[in-house]
Amino acid sequence: MASPVLPSSGVLSPLGTDSVRPAPGFWGDRIALNREVTIAHCQEWMERTGWIGNFRRLGATPAQRGAHPRQGREFSDSEIYKLLEAMAWADHPNLPELAATVAAAQEEDGYLNTRWYDDRYSDFEWGHELYCYGHLIQAGVARLRAHGEDELTKVVLRAADHICRRFMNTQETCGHPVVEMALVELYRATGTERYLEMARRFVERRGLPALGDITFGRAYFQDDLPVRRARVFRGHAVRAVYLASGAVDVAVETGDSELLSAIEAQWERTVARRIHLTGGLGSRHSDESFGEDFELPPDRAYSETCAGIGSIMLSHRLLLATGNVRYADLAERTMFNVLATALALDGRSFFYASPLHVRVPASPLEGVNQVAEGGLRSPWFTVSCCPSNIARTYASLAAYLATSDASGVQIHHHAPAEIRHGGLALRVETGYPWSGAVTVRVLEAGSGRISLRVPPWASGARLSYGGAVRPVSPGYAVAEGEWRAGDEIRLDLPMTPRWTYPDPRADAVRGCAAVERGPLVYCAESVGDEPPLSLIRAGTATPVEHHLLDGVVELDVQASLLHPPADAWPYSSPQAPQSAAPPGQPAPAPAGEPLRLVPYHRWGNRGPATMRVWLPTTA
Ligand SMILES: [Zn+2]
């Protein structure tokens, strides 16, 4: 089974990229764009920046090395490994040559790192050596499952055995998790139990503590508390969700229900208090971390692409372990509003951070972006973790769409695709997320339940098959029967645009509302001399839909522009305070002009712009 995560037990089993074939559509188009454009784009930049050259450099003499310093940050090897993973899932022709370049740099005992080869394991807090191995191992697992053994998989086994020899009986771990979930997956792919035991020990020793204290505090790398004692995700958001993913994997394979419950509780509390409307994670730019509960300022939202991807990976693991639909619901929100947002429509530039409010249009930039922030997608970054993460995620995304169990097939994410399981073959046809109609055609006969996820916003959904129509509630709509070729099941999800209000404790956006339609968050975008978004006041009448020729749906709301006072002192004390609508209540519609809202994932494709998701509804 060609899936990045393949637990040996759980309520649901993944259907891999060999069972789910995406067809043209929202996700299918992006998967194809990734294979045809983004993967090669990433490789070109890794050559241009010298990060692939770092591997060739290790074969040179010390004198030659001295003349050609190593390029990039201490973790740049991991980008080559994520690219190799993307190539493995996409069966990309460039893989063998790149894998050979990596293989040539590996030392006799399995050690492999272009930064620390002459100073091994001297900086666990920031060195990222085990982090790099984690991504190398994930690439090897992808190659094993999508292709079979080759030079890359041999490199990976040598590296994993080196890790087990070096770290099994120490108390050390890495400042950046990922090796945990990688080792569990390698155990799943090979059956070699020491990989699972090594992963278990890495999870358990964290928080004892295992690392030195740092400026940001040990919570930055989740070393402030043992994993099973924490109550909420905290610290660096990518680290937090990668570690939690590894902990779920360990819990599932070792039958540790206490550890699994601990991660479920942390997920639940985080999703109730520390998440942006888009599914984005992280509120602080200085340490790329979660903020305190309800610290969710839209303009300071960090929402790193990698944190969104890690959240999708975690939610998918929890879905497989428990079968609970809420995990698929969050994965969908994050896929449409973080993952899809991060990649430009041409597949060649990326967001690192995705705030929900951009006050100043960015300046176009040629070359490498030195910072994570911006407001325009960049072709490459000094810290370029996100582009290669996007590439490997799209390359394996088909494996996230559907699952199976003993009773049949579950379709969690609605996308045109062919799905095969057992004897059953299905074709999903849909214009989702623009249209709410999802049709499943039976191509080859079979029996069993066919379950289609009904998202939490879709009250009034209907399921039709066998000549009957019935209402279905959020959760899963289940069609059951003996299926013959040509049979058809249809799910209709209501796609009326809706206003969404924040919990009043999310005080940075109190008095604001946002518009969603289906799984998509919308935003106002202002390009050039279009109205300034800082002065708008929106009315909360039902938005008006505009269906564009390419299927995209934009929305109009009514908004008026406030008049700013003189530019002297930005506060005033009027005699009669203006009455404000209480939070959560629709404001009276101002006499305004239509304000066009675009899907959040499409913003920034028209050039430098300001943008906001949360629209003030009061003065
Ligand atoms: Zn990143």
Ligand 1 center to residue 221 CA distance, Å?
15
Q: What is the mean pLDDT of residues 500-512?
A: 97
Two structure tokens written together for 262? 């601990």
Which pLDDT belongs to residue 46? Answer: 98
The model's pLDDT over 423-445, given as tens digits with 9 standing for 90+, comes to 899 999 999 999 999 999 999 99
Q: What is the pLDDT of residue 363?
A: 84
Residue 578 predicted with pLDDT over 60: no
Ligand 1 center–CA 590 separation, angstroms = 41
Give the pLDDT of residue 563.
83
Segment 439-466 mean pLDDT: 97
527 C-alpha to ligand 1 centroid (Å): 27
Q: Is pLDDT larger for residue 366 or for residue 57?
A: 57
* pLDDT at residue 566 in the model: 77
User: Is the pLDDT score of 88 beyond 70?
Assistant: yes
* Backbone Cα Rg of the chain: 25
SS3 56: helix
Ligand 1 centroid to residue 612 C-alpha, Å: 22
CA of 131 to the centre of ligand 1 (A): 13
Instruction: Calculate how far, in angstroms, residue 305's C-alpha sits from the geometric centre of ligand 1.
Output: 5
CA of 604 to the centre of ligand 1 (A): 19
C-alpha 189 to ligand 1 mean position (Å): 26
Q: How far is the CA of 575 from the centre of ligand 1 (A)?
A: 50
Q: Report the separation in Å between the CA atom of 80 and the middle of ligand 1, taken as the mean of its atom positions.
A: 14
Distance in angstroms (rounded) separating the CA atoms of residues 289 and 303: 9
pLDDT at 360 over 70: yes
238 Cα: distance to centroid of ligand 1 (angstroms): 8
CA of 33 to the centre of ligand 1 (A): 20
pLDDT digits 0-9 by tens, 212-222: 999 999 999 99
Question: Ligand 1 mean position to 381 CA, how many Å?
Answer: 10
User: Cα(340) to centroid of ligand 1, in Å?
Assistant: 14
Provide mean pLDDT across the span 537-553: 95
**Contact yes or no for 486/441 (Cβ under 8 A):** yes
User: Is the pLDDT reported for residue 587 higher than 50?
Assistant: no
**312: Cβ–Cβ under 8 A, 6 or more apart, which residues?**
331, 334, 335, 339, 393, 400
Ligand 1 centroid to 599 CA: how many Å?
A: 22
Q: For Cα atoms 280, 285, 287, give the angle at the middle one, nearest 5 degrees.
A: 105
pLDDT at 572: 81
> From ligand 1's centre to the CA of 288, what distance in Å?
10
Tell me, in angstroms, the distance from the centre of ligand 1 to residue 390's CA. Answer: 9
Other CB atoms closer than 10 Å to residue 366's CB: what's the count? Answer: 6
Checking if the pLDDT of 365 tops 80, the result is no
Give me the mean pLDDT over the 442-451 stretch.
95
pLDDT at residue 373, rounded to an integer: 76
In which band, very low, low, confident or very high, does the pLDDT at 141 lie, cut at 50, 70 and 90? very high
Question: Cα(388) to centroid of ligand 1, in Å?
Answer: 9
Q: How far is the CA of 383 from the centre of ligand 1 (A)?
A: 8
Whether residue 374 has pLDDT greater than 90 = no
Residue 499, pLDDT score: 98
Write the pLDDT tens digit of every residue in 196-209: 999 999 999 999 99
How far does Cα 75 stand from its chain's mean position?
20
pLDDT tens column, 246-262:
999 999 999 999 999 99
Q: Give the distance (Å) from ligand 1 centre to CA of residue 212.
A: 24
pLDDT of res. 584: 45
Is the pLDDT at 590 greater than 80? The verdict is no
Expressed in angstroms and rounded, the spacing between residue 434 Cα and the centre of ligand 1 is 28
pLDDT of residue 589: 47
What pLDDT does residue 415 have? 98
CA distances from 369 to 34, 146, 261, 434 (A): 21, 34, 40, 33
Return the closest-CA partner of residue 278 out of 250, 305, 239, 258: 305
Token pair for residue 323? Answer: 């079968």
Could you tell me the distance, in angstroms and rounded to a whole number, from the CA of residue 384 to the centre of ligand 1?
Answer: 6
**519 band by pLDDT with thresholds 50, 70 and 90:** very high
